[in-house]
Structure 1
Amino acid sequence: MDTTFCISAWNTLVQQLVLTFTEPTMRTWQQIALGWVLHRGPATVTGIFRTLGKLADRHWTVYHKFFYRAAWSLETLSAYLTANVIGPMILASGQIDPITGRPVADLNIDDTTAGRYGRHVAHAGWFKDASATGPATQGTVIHWAHNWIVGAITLRLPHWKQIRWVLPAVFTLYRKKADCDRAHPFATRQVLAARMVCQVATALPGMHLRVAADGQYATRDMVMGLPEGVSLVSRIRRDAALYDLPPKRRKPGQRGRPPTRGKRLPTPQQIAARRRKGWKTIAVRRQGKQVRRRVLGITCLWYHVCRTVPIRMVIVRDPAGRQEDDFFFCTDATVPDTQIVQRYYDRWGVEECILEAKQQMGFESTRGWCSRTVNRQAPLAMVLVTLVKAWYAKCAIEEPSLLPEPTPWNPHKIQPSFLDMLAALRRLLWQHRISSNSRLTARVREILETLSYVLSAAA
């Protein structure tokens, strides 16, 4: 294995973000990125510092000040991450919009909570987390936490056709009204999400941006806040008030302003129950499996949310009848029904990515409590998820030894998980750090290989 090539590739990715920082802070960032990836356990600054050992050549307080005092911006960091790391991967994916001829970037948005402890933790509050687990008698979990909105670019690469790469790019902390002031006025999740889309559109000029989000983002604030040329795919209410398109010509003798909408249509649920003709069968990928669905598409107006912008509403039905009907819509009425369904199903990757960041990178185990630290610390876990995936996508092609090896309990494993990617990077970094001496005996090398495996195994 060419360890030098892989280590150099990782250092290059980390250096893609150095323009965010001043020169002294740049050194601290490079060391924190290394220590964070190598550290196992809660993502505390003290734990990262101790993992670095002698590589931490600065006073321990410098690493704490990196989060609460150093002059750098999370928005700028996200911009460099999107443009310098994710942008080349979008071009490598080769997905081109047939109408505009521009590269396609799929941005999926979701929000999550990161549980915290302590009354004095800035911007924490009581939030509902539908994905959190708890006793069956409790129902929905409501806990003291931070509420983060995450935007991730999803794509497929030519050499990794079976993997849908999900790369976190932008992050925003949602604050409740009682936690806002003049310096930080209150904004809903939908307004914050629309701003995030604008950030990505600015960082990726010349690309065709497509957005997918769940039903809570299907609001007027979100739709009207999107940049020009950006389409949104989301859920539509089952009882949404739909209207036909307005007539192109006015009736003879008709006075007043031209009508903005046509006649009232049945609700999506009523259309699904009554319509017998117009259904077609499509094949899409859902959670890694190929499935068949019956779909019915209608071009109409959802005036309450999209005003006079025509939408494409798609009803999705399971032919086997095991699942309830789904109702999706797209703000671009020219998008094919199959693409609308696939774009929404691909949104599931954001849920998996958030879980990876919580379980493996310490997104939920940071210990900062002041405002600036809270706004910076947890998103860095997401940034490192993107860097690890970008590194693996590049190096595992050149070095097949980084691919997961078959095991007695899983002899046919060929698709790497994020744990495999993280463990491969950790193993290389530890081997480069503790076994670079070529004069070691075979027995010592065997011990060090076992030690590097224990250190690199993703917890």
Structure 2
Amino acid sequence: MITLPEEFSQQISAFAGLFSKKVFEHAKVLITGCLLVVGRRTVCSALRAVGLSQYKRFDKYHSVLSKAKWSCYRAARILLLLLVDHFSPAASYLVFGIDETIERRRGAKIKAKGIYRDPVRSSKSHFVKCSGLRWISLMLLTPISWADRVWALPFLTVLAPSERYHQQRGKAHKKITDWARQMMLQLSRWLPNRLIIIVADSSYSAIDLLDSVRRHVCMITRLRLDAALYDFVPPRPAGQVGRKRKKGERQPTLLQRLDDPETKWTEMVIPKWYNHGARSMCIASGTAIWYHSGMPPAPIRWVLTKDPGGNIDPAALLSTNLDLDSAQIIDFFIRRWTVEVTFEEVRAHLGVETQRQWSDLAIARSTPILMAMFTLITLWADHLQKQNRLVIKPCAWYQKSRPTFSDAIASVRYRVWRNQHFCTSIFQADMQKLNPPWAEHLIYMLTRAA
């Protein structure tokens, strides 16, 4: 049976306290198989990948997901602490991204599936629906030195069922913002002495959500150009009676500020504007109270961006931390794009949407495990990089100077397979039955397979 090298087992051993001794051994086998398997990430495929295709008690490994008692939330906390200790042990702040994705699944036994808008195939003018499971993932956005860019590393992924699912069971529906609030507050409890910055798209730009978490974390999201903004409440005159004011005078909307000749614009060069490199943008910023009737007032700093060349549509951002400057808010928000990259990578290389669990508990565990595998592989690849074992395999028609996730998972797989199946004799005179170039090519094809 194939096992992980000792250098990789050190991170896995941190999770030993979550399981009984027997279940932990079975869990390690599944993690190894999930790393090495080519094709679908099912339990049976994982067992074949580690050489257990003839093992008759295969039901024990299914039970790790469907019956065994262990907590995904405790596992998420352990993984988060591993990440922080490895990549940001002394950082003054930590940046996280939160977003949802749809896992396309079919089957009458999958109770939590619903009909959602397909974010990949839909556009502003074209609406596409898909059936599947909706997941909300919280990721650490941290620079990876050997990749020369920020990666989004998932550690907490939760299932957010549809409204129909809750109605059929007579339960109160929890919206995306409700799940996000719980996840953010949980994160603040896990990291009580850190400044936490969370970036999100416009789905999380809700006044009630901002108000409920602003004392614990700093949120940076998009802001509607027609949002109702007000001045801060002026000092209350002495002796005045009555209810306290929630807002001051109405400010112009950001849409009006775009065409206002009195708006003070500052031209700023953004070093990394998504994947376009450095870009010059016109920036305007200010503070305000974002208020809507029936909602609590939300003090924010808004940032309005405009392309001098007119090639990019104007956009607005908000921060619940009023002390951040415009450049910091833009830089933090741009990191959010790496969350979408991670969603694509876990589908392409880790088999998300190919698993076939039907029981509720197994479904709730399998996808978070695959998302966490992205993070574990990144940790292992960083360890290999320090040993100069993180290898890039360029082609004549495709050259790259920095490793990507495909190189990371290939190098990790290479380390596992090379140690256990292609160790040759120490004697130089021994006959080699397998031509070394062909052995390298075989390993290369296996490591690059999704």
Q: Does TM, normalized by the shorter one, top 0.5?
A: yes
- Distance in 1 (CA, whole Å) between partners of 2:367 and 2:401 is 31
- Distance in 2 (CA, whole Å) between partners of 1:126 and 1:339 is 37
CA deviation string 1:390-448 (max 9, x = no partner)? 1112221222x42314431234x221111110111111111112112425644525133
How far 1:145 sits from its partner (Å)?
0.5
- 1:390-429 maps to which residues of 2 (within 5 A)? 390-399=379-388, 401-411=389-399, 413-429=400-416
Structure 2 letter corresponding to 1:268:
L
Q: Which residue of 1 aligns with 2:100?
A: 111
- Distance in 1 (CA, whole Å) between partners of 2:65 and 2:143 is 34
**Match of residue 266, structure 1, among 252, 255, 263:** 252
After TM superposition, what 4+ stretches of structure 1 lie above 3 angstroms from structure 2? 54-58, 181-185, 252-255, 305-309, 439-443
How far 1:34 sits from its partner (Å)?
0.4
Counterpart contact for 1:82–1:204, Cα < 8 Å: no
- 1:261-300 maps to which residues of 2 (within 5 A)? 261-284=247-270, 285-288=272-275, 289-300=277-288
**Match of residue 220, structure 1, among 190, 207, 217:** 207
1:130 is paired with a residue of what secondary structure? coil
Structure 2 letter corresponding to 1:213:
A
2:148 is paired with a residue of what secondary structure? strand
- Distance in 2 (CA, whole Å) between partners of 1:37 and 1:370 is 23
How far 1:160 sits from its partner (Å)?
3.6
1:17 is paired with a residue of what secondary structure? helix
Counterpart contact for 2:188–2:216, Cα < 8 Å: no
Q: Which residue of 1 aligns with 2:361?
A: 372
1:433 is paired with a residue of what secondary structure? helix
Counterpart contact for 1:79–1:199, Cα < 8 Å: no
Q: Which residue of 1 aligns with 2:44?
A: 46
- Distance in 2 (CA, whole Å) between partners of 1:363 and 1:27 is 23
- Distance in 2 (CA, whole Å) between partners of 1:189 and 1:360 is 27
CA deviation string 1:16-61 (max 9, x = no partner)? 2222222111111111110000001111111111111149977211
- Distance in 1 (CA, whole Å) between partners of 2:47 and 2:66 is 16
- Distance in 1 (CA, whole Å) between partners of 2:88 and 2:201 is 27
Deviates more, 1:443-452 or 1:241-250: 443-452
- Distance in 2 (CA, whole Å) between partners of 1:227 and 1:329 is 12
**Cα 1:277/1:241, change in 2 over 3 Å:** closer
- Distance in 2 (CA, whole Å) between partners of 1:24 and 1:203 is 28
1:37 and 2:35 matched: yes
**Match of residue 173, structure 2, among 169, 186, 190:** 186
Counterpart contact for 1:286–1:346, Cα < 8 Å: no
Q: Which residue of 1 aligns with 2:233?
A: 246
- Distance in 2 (CA, whole Å) between partners of 1:438 and 1:293 is 61
Q: Which residue of 2 aligns with 1:139?
A: 126
- Distance in 2 (CA, whole Å) between partners of 1:154 and 1:258 is 40
How far 1:122 sits from its partner (Å)?
2.1
- Distance in 2 (CA, whole Å) between partners of 1:248 and 1:290 is 43
- Distance in 1 (CA, whole Å) between partners of 2:22 and 2:130 is 38
- Distance in 2 (CA, whole Å) between partners of 1:51 and 1:456 is 12
Q: Which residue of 1 aligns with 2:306?
A: 317
Q: Which residue of 2 aligns with 1:444?
A: 434
- Distance in 1 (CA, whole Å) between partners of 2:218 and 2:241 is 34
- Distance in 1 (CA, whole Å) between partners of 2:20 and 2:192 is 26
1:301 and 2:289 matched: yes
**Match of residue 150, structure 2, among 164, 167, 176:** 164
Q: Which residue of 1 aligns with 2:12?
A: 14
Q: Which runs of 5+ in 1 are unaligned?
A: 97-103
Counterpart contact for 1:15–1:30, Cα < 8 Å: no
CA deviation string 1:201-243 (max 9, x = no partner)? 2222322111111011111342233263411000111211111
Q: Which residue of 2 aligns with 1:70?
A: 68
Structure 2 letter corresponding to 1:73:
S
1:314 is paired with a residue of what secondary structure? strand
- Percent identity reads 24
Q: Which residue of 1 aligns with 2:21?
A: 23
- Distance in 1 (CA, whole Å) between partners of 2:374 and 2:48 is 21
Deviates more, 1:264-273 or 1:293-302: 264-273
Counterpart contact for 1:420–1:458, Cα < 8 Å: no
Deviates more, 1:200-209 or 1:233-242: 200-209
Counterpart contact for 1:300–1:313, Cα < 8 Å: yes
Counterpart contact for 2:232–2:248, Cα < 8 Å: yes
- RMSD, matched Cα: 2.5
**Cα 1:419/1:184, change in 2 over 3 Å:** farther
- Distance in 2 (CA, whole Å) between partners of 1:184 and 1:105 is 35
- Distance in 2 (CA, whole Å) between partners of 1:253 and 1:316 is 43
1:105 is paired with a residue of what secondary structure? strand
1:154 and 2:141 matched: yes
Counterpart contact for 2:226–2:255, Cα < 8 Å: yes
- Distance in 1 (CA, whole Å) between partners of 2:441 and 2:85 is 36
**Cα 1:229/1:254, change in 2 over 3 Å:** same
- 1:318-337 maps to which residues of 2 (within 5 A)? 318-337=307-326
1:89 and 2:79 matched: no
CA deviation string 1:137-173 (max 9, x = no partner)? x93321110001111101125x447221221011111
Structure 1 letter corresponding to 2:347:
K
2:442 is paired with a residue of what secondary structure? helix
How far 1:451 sits from its partner (Å)?
1.8
Instruction: Normalising by structure 1, report the TM-score.
Output: 0.89
1:428 is paired with a residue of what secondary structure? helix
Counterpart contact for 1:300–1:310, Cα < 8 Å: yes
1:304 is paired with a residue of what secondary structure? coil
1:191 is paired with a residue of what secondary structure? helix
Deviates more, 1:282-291 or 1:40-49: 282-291
- Distance in 2 (CA, whole Å) between partners of 1:445 and 1:30 is 33
1:368 is paired with a residue of what secondary structure? coil
**Cα 1:395/1:205, change in 2 over 3 Å:** farther
